[in-house]
Amino acid sequence: MKKYAYNEITLMQYIFLINGAQVATGVLALPRILAEKAGTDGWIAIPIGWFFSVVASIFLVKTAERYPDDTLFEILIRLFGKIVGKVAIIVYMVYFAFYAWIIFVNGSLYIKAWFLPKTPSYIILLLFSIPTFFVARNGIRVLGRYSELSFYMVIWIPLFFLIPLRDGTWLHLLPILKEGWKPVLSAVPTTVFSFLGFEVAFFLYPFLQKKQHAVLGITIANTLTMLFYVFVTIVCFVYFSPDGIIDFNQPVLYLLKLIEFRFLERFDMVILAVYLIVVSTAWMPCVYLATFCSSQLLGKQDHSQHVIILLLIIIGLVFWREPTWNESEKFQQMFVKGGLQLAFVAPPFLWIYSWIYEKLRRRVRH
Amino acid sequence: MFLNDGSGEGLEYFSLDHAYYKHNLMQMQKGKESMSYFLKFLRGKRSSRFHQTSNNANLQKKNMEDDVLDSDLSHNTENLQLLFSQAPDLVIRRFPIAASKTEAALVYLPGLTDKDAIQDYVLKPLMHSSFDPNKELPITIGKIEMVNTWGQIENAILGGDSVLLLNGQITGYQLDTKGWPQRQLINPQNEISLKGANQGFVETGSQNIALIRRYIPHQELILKEMTVGIRGKTKVSLLYLGDVASEDVLRELEIRIQNITVDAIINTGELIEFIEDNPYSPFPQIMLTERPDTAATQILQGRFVIIMDRSPSVLIAPTNFISFFQSVDDYGSRWLVSSFIRVMRFFAFMMALFLPATYVAFISYNFEVIPMELLLTIAESRIQVPFPPVLEAVIMEMILELMREAALRLPTPIGQTIGIVGGIIIGQAAVQVGIVSNIMIIVVAVTAIASYNIPNYDMSSSIRLLRFPMMLSAAMFGVVGIVVGWMTIVGHLVSLESLGTPYGTPLAPFRFADMKDAFLRFPLWAMKSRPKGTGAIPTIRQGRNRTKR
């Protein structure tokens, strides 16, 4: 008996959903943060962060494997009972809603900074919420298709990062590990957080067609994210001088400014606008999962009204208080602390707990 | 389906409704009236008195429909005259049969029947030749059926058959003498192709089926017939390959067609509105074609063709977005050439959708993107124009649409004047006066050409429609507006379904194998399998046809 039979996603959709949820606006500032903490060795911290996220991801998939037809919602209720389980679900729901809100705010901030400086944020969010509603009111399958198609549509963007390399100095990267491992390790927490988003896989597992490839899929998704981060960071480090990079809030955006064609000046405007599609693949799963949790909690099948309500709440919050970059970064710090618990601590914990739980249950039965 | 909405009230709704429940009416008559009253009230019907009378009127007729023929011919003809009392064109020809002197009557509607056939093959042998009346009648017509109820006789006569009644027999003969006014098979008018066949579908369903059967003379080509419309009684036929096409899609399609409760369907476009998945979408979800070769190709790919009698275009379902960009000629030309044309079509799609919007966005918002020299040229051209770019664009696009519609509706000889008026007078004079800029004229013209490059008319119209919201969004939010508009279109396309199969395939559930016939047209011998998007069961459609020489 499969509850989610009509909503299956392929392995590719699974990969791109996770990858899409991970890559958002964070990468725009990542090179600067890494440079602040570890200088030009900062990129080494990314593979280390990748390692942690892969380990957490594998725990996550292994936990989900025990209950192949359940989403996190059913798993938590099964393991902890109705009350505690539902509380845990509420925590996840708030987390996803908060995540969606942060990406929305960051997206609107960068659009405001580069394109529409005089338009109020809530109008931009209103604009964002139109495609969001079209996609998120449907099931996970549509989300998967959207993420997959979006990935193919924006795959050409990294090519344009190669253009600034022309004027770069590779010597900036040398010598590797000039100040030892310590600054690198201090940058690891930042990079760990930049992999947040893979926890959507908790909800994707029962929908996956070929469940035997789940571990492979989530690893590929993490690796894609890691490669993109490393690539962008190295390009930034090579192009900007090691001290100069700290002056730019979002060095990646300034990097794009250099791209220019004879028939099209300021090509960065086009790339930045298209980058919105990348950002959208991060907020859409979050909006969907938050409303999925809430509709499951209320025992409803149709979650499209919840999507509208969540979007209205997000727009209302922004209308009430328009956040700035600094505020948004503050919120992000808060969010990241929660994410650490829910994405990196919860999977191993759940894995061990479910192992013990199954053992005990079997013993009781015998 | 739409009966349960409870919103429609009044005369039409009732007549429809009770026809739908026709078969239940007999039982309702038998003492269940109070119960049915209650039920009808619950379903939200107020003027129940009217409903009741209409019930009774129909009941009498209904009773007559089930009655069998009488053995007395005079009684039968009287009944017929009663049944067709409002049809003065009904012919009842009474004559004695030559051999036995039995009285006989031939009944038909002259406009719907083939007069020569009736004279030469029915009346002549019956009246003049001598034969044994106890054996078979000497009627030399292929299809003869026995009828014995008044309902059957009524349907036969209205459907263009003639009915032969004999005195002393309680069964009549339904003779296939159909011969309504018909059109010659001519070149398809709306889907022009260079290399495809020159026969297009016509208004007679049986001929259209024959046209398809000529392409696929195989026993697995299955035909399913249904009747739609209480008054129209349109014959709807489903054609598909029994061992290839998906059963789920078939079931879904049958249920949707059978659930239609309507007076009559005149056009295939109306049928689409009743069976499509998402009626609010701007995109066509079921394809219309008037080419038998296209229909046959689609059947061979595992799709369903729906032929509606009296309509010269047939439906193809399920479809996907990409298939609206494929044309018959693609498969007849060299694959490199047709791949190039395919790519150009998608390029044209993007241009038709985005060019005016991009112009508006770049001119009014993000002019820093345009290089200086070009910007100067544009500024020079726009210097006299009093309108903001978006208004200028909307005005010109509107005029273009008006011209298109005018040229379409006018008789052909006058239609050419529209071109002169539109092209020379509006185009040149408007620029000279300074209402619109030269650049805008170029943009509009290029957009128009691009939008007519899309081979399917429905798809091209929906793209032309979507251009306007794109322009508005570009005028309000610049490049961001365009990107968000694109995201919305993609999000919508991705969530659309055509009869339960994904509309965006092979793009949105990405299917690498199906990409061979999407943006490029691979050589035919490379496309070994049928597209997966249709749910076709045996996927292999050809063997190794490529041998190295």
Summarised one tens digit per residue, pLDDT across range B308-365 is 998 999 999 889 899 999 988 888 889 999 999 999 999 999 999 999 999 999 888 8
| pLDDT for position B299 | 92
Helix (H) or strand (E) holding A18: helix A11-22
3-state secondary structure of B201: coil
Q: How many Cβ atoms from other residues are within 10 Å of residue B157's Cβ?
A: 23
Residue B462, class by beta-carbon neighbours within 10 Å (0-12 exposed, 13-18 middle, 19+ buried)? middle
* pLDDT tens digits along B400-411: 888 888 888 888
Matching residue, tokens 């079921």: B286
Check residues A99 and B38 and name the one with the higher pLDDT: A99
Q: Do B484 and A13 touch (CB under 8 A)?
A: no
Query: How sure is the predictor about B11, in pLDDT bands with cuts at 50, 70 and 90?
Result: very low
Please give the tally of structural domains in chain B.
4
- Quote the pLDDT of residue B10: 39
pLDDT for B206-215, tens place per residue? 899 999 999 9
> Are A116 and B478 an interchain contact pair (Cβ–Cβ within 8 Å)?
yes
pLDDT at B308: 92
Do B347 and B487 belong together in one domain? yes
Q: Which of B232, B353, B505 is nearest to A141 (CA)?
A: B505
- Dihedral over Cα of B196, B198, B204, B208: its sign: negative
Q: Report the residue from B365, B372, B484 with minimal CB separation from A131.
A: B484
> At a CB cut-off of 8 Å and minimum separation 6, what does A235 contact?
A161, A162, A164, A165, A168, A255
Q: What is the residue range of B432's domain?
A: 334-502
Q: How much is the average pLDDT of A248-272?
A: 79
DSSP B67: P
Token match 């600054």: residue?
A: A183
Are residues B112 and B133 located together in one domain of the fold? yes
Distance CA B533, CA B517 (A): 12
Do B356 and B444 belong together in one domain? yes
Q: What is the pLDDT of residues A283-332, one digit of tens each?
A: 999 999 999 989 988 888 888 889 999 999 999 998 888 888 888 888 88
The answer to whether B507 contacts chain A (CB < 8 Å) is yes
Query: Coil, helix or strand for A331?
Result: helix
Residue A27's pLDDT is 86
What pLDDT digit, counting tens, does each position of B186-203 carry?
Answer: 888 888 888 888 899 999
Q: What is the pLDDT of residue B134?
A: 67
Position B22 scores a pLDDT of 44
* Residue B61 pLDDT level (bands cut at 50, 70, 90): low
Cα(A68)–Cα(A205) distance, integer angstroms: 7
pLDDT exceeds cutoff 60 at B50: no
Considering the domain boundaries, does residue B474 fall inside one?
A: yes
Dump pLDDT digits (tens) for B433-491: 888 888 888 999 999 999 999 999 999 999 999 999 999 999 999 899 999 999 999 99
Helix A45-66 vs helix A181-194: angle between axes, to the nearest 10 degrees? Answer: 40
Same domain assignment for residues B484 and B371? yes
DSSP single-letter state for residue A247: G
- Range B151-174 average pLDDT: 87
Q: Which fold has domain A6-365?
A: Amino acid/polyamine transporter I (1.20.1740)
Give counts: helices (H), strands (E), chain B: 20, 12
Asked if residue B517 is part of any domain, the answer here is no
Q: Which residues of A touch B368 (CB under 8 A)?
A: 265-266, 269
Residues written for chain B: 549
- Residue B228: strand, helix, or coil: strand
A 225-284 residues with CB < 8 A to B: 262-267, 269-270, 273-274, 276-277, 280
Task: Report the distance separating Cα B367 and Cα B363, nearest Å.
Answer: 5
Mean predicted confidence (pLDDT) in A145-170:
87
Regarding whether B489 and B389 lie in a shared domain, the answer is yes
Q: Strand ranges (DSSP E) for B182-336?
A: 221-228, 234-241, 287-289, 304-308, 314-317
| C-beta atoms of B481 and A111 within 8 A | no
DSSP three-state, residue B172 = strand
Same domain, residue pair B243 and B297: yes
**Average pLDDT over all residues of chain A:** 86
Q: Is the pLDDT of residue A190 over 60?
A: yes
Same-domain pairing of B344 and B308: no
Structure tokens at B387: 């309108």
Q: Is residue B199 part of a domain?
A: no
Residue B364 touches chain A, beta carbons under 8 Å: no
Give residues 440 to 499 of B whose Cβ lies within 8 Å of A: 473, 477-484, 486-488, 490-492, 494-495
For residue B320, give Cα distances in angstroms to A168, A187, A261, B32, B502. Answer: 46, 48, 37, 49, 7
Contact B457, B190 (CB under 8 A): yes
Q: What is the mean pLDDT of residues B165-194?
A: 86
Q: What is the DSSP string of B384-399?
A: T--S-HHHHHHHHHHH
Least confident of A32-46, A254-268, A302-316, B183-197: A254-268
A:B CB pairs within 8 Å: 102
Tell me, yes or no, whether B392 and B250 share the same domain.
no
B191 in any annotated domain: no
The per-residue DSSP string of B298-359 comes to: HHHTT-EEEEETT-S-EEEES--TGGGG--HHHHHS-HHHHHHHHHHHHHHHHHHHHHHHHH
Q: B387 and B441: one domain?
A: yes
Please indicate, yes or no, whether residues B258 and B351 belong to a single structural domain of this protein. no
- If asked whether residues B129 and B210 sit together in one domain, one would say no
Same domain, B209 and B162: no
| Average pLDDT rounded to a whole number, residues A243-260 | 81
